[in-house]
Structures are given as C-alpha cells and as structure tokens.
C-alpha cells in the first residue's frame, strides 16, 4: 500500500479503533486458482492475532495452504472531498477533488482449524463481543440455541487464526492541508453526512 509520510497512521488507539469499528475484513490470498478474496468478520485476540471462520462450502480453506501468507484489509468509512470545501479555493483555485479514507492492512499467516473447540471459540468470542456491544445484558448466547441445531451449524464451518507479521495503517484525512482548509474539509464532511469522519478529524487537530 502506498502511504505518503503525512498519511502514515502510527497511533495504536486509531488502528485498534478501525478493527473495532470495521471488523468485516477483506481477506486476500494468492492460490493456484489465482487471487481469491473473502469478506469475513475478524476479532483480534489479546495476543494480537485474529480469529474468524468460513463456511465449510467455501473453497477458501481448501485453496489456501496451511501457514500461507494472507492479507486482511480493514476499511473504515470513506468520503469524497470537494475543492469547494476549502476556503482558499476562491483565492487561487489550485485545488482538485480527492478522497479521504482510513484503512489498515494486516499481513499474516493463516492456520485453519477443524476441531470443535476452535470453531466454538471463533463463533463464541466474535458473537459475544458483537452482541454485548449491540444488546448489552440481552446479548444472544450460543447456549440460547438448541444443542443439536448449534452442532449442525458448527459442523458447517471451519475456524481459522491469522498470526500477524506486519501491520500497515493509513489515515488519509486532509493532514496535508493548511489549517483553514483542514477545518473547511471538516465542515464539508459534516454537511455531506460524514459526521463520524469529521469528528475524528476534529479530534486530531493537526
């Protein structure tokens, strides 16, 4: 990934927030059948690796070799930036449109796990995390489903774990603009429905 110095994201908190807010990663790998890409929710463990699962019918676990390198791409929201956002535009018109976005590339090696314990852990940890965020005390639990039904569902998946070898993060958030144009981009994003990105830019206050 091309990352100009002013867009390099080094904040562990910002990177972790991307994993938290955008857990649906695009997992890419080179195989004998060519490049494959699958969109899968991943959860980072306290040790720093990522766990997830795929459908047994998904050829991903047959096409990717054990311990093979994969790339997991996490992408937060993105937004079009119009030159009209910049207060300096009427002064010299030396602006062009661009696009703001936040993305993290996680490189790692993948190991597929077919045992019941790994599959229960992959599903249980991910759903517990998401359910608590969404439903709090009313969170759905695996134990809520009938045992035979849950065993049937678990029989139809394969768990996996990605051991991280490299993390590259990019936050392209108008950091290369002068202060008043940076603020203009924030206001423009708010007016175009991208309040979340605008708030994160405001907190950066470069």
Please write the tens of the pLDDT for every residue from 113-141: 999 999 999 999 999 999 999 999 999 99
pLDDT at 97: 97
pLDDT at 206: 59
Q: Let me know: does 96 contact 80? Beta carbons within 8 Å.
A: no
| Residue 137, domain member (yes or no) | yes
**CATH number of the domain encompassing residue 29:** 2.30.110.10
| Residue 58, domain member (yes or no) | yes
| Residue 205, domain member (yes or no) | no
| Residue 175, domain member (yes or no) | yes
pLDDT at 91: 87
| Residue 67, domain member (yes or no) | yes
| Residue 162, domain member (yes or no) | yes
Q: Let me know: does 102 contact 170? Beta carbons within 8 Å.
A: yes
Cα–Cα distances (Å) from 107 to 22, 28, 69, 92, 142, in that order, read 17, 10, 7, 42, 31
| Residue 206, domain member (yes or no) | no
Long-range CB contacts for residues 56-59, cutoff 8 Å, separation at least 24:
56/155, 56/156, 56/157, 56/158, 57/156, 58/158, 59/33
CA angle 141, 142, 144 (to 5 degrees): 70
| pTM (two decimals) | 0.93
Q: Let me know: does 54 contact 160? Beta carbons within 8 Å.
A: yes
Domain of residue 140 covers 5-198
| Residue 204, domain member (yes or no) | no
Please write the tens of the pLDDT for every residue from 2-22: 999 999 999 999 999 999 999
Positions in the chain short of pLDDT 50 = none
The total of structural domains in the chain comes to 1
Helix (H) or strand (E) holding 125: helix 116-135
């Amino acid at each position: 990934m091309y990352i100009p110095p002013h867009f390099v994201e080094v904040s562990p908190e910002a990177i972790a927030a991307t994993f938290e807010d955008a857990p649906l990663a695009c997992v890419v790998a080179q195989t004998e059948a060519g490049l494959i890409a699958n969109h899968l929710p991943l959860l980072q463990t306290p040790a720093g690796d990522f766990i997830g699962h795929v459908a047994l019918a998904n050829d991903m676990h047959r096409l990717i070799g054990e311990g093979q390198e994969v790339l997991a791409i996490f992408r937060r929201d993105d937004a079009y930036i119009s030159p009209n956002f910049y207060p300096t535009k009427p002064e010299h018109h030396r602006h062009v449109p661009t696009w703001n976005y936040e993305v993290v590339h996680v490189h790692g090696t993948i190991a597929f796990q077919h045992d019941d314990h790994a599959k229960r852990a992959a599903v249980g940890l991910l759903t517990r995390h998401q359910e608590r965020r969404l439903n709090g005390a009313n969170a759905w639990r695996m134990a809520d489903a009938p045992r035979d039904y849950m065993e049937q569902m678990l029989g139809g998946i394969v768990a996996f774990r990605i051991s991280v070898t490299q993390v590259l993060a990019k936050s392209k958030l108008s950091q290369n603009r002068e202060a008043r144009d940076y603020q203009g981009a924030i206001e423009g994003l708010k007016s175009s429905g991208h309040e979340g990105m605008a708030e994160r830019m405001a907190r950066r206050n470069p």
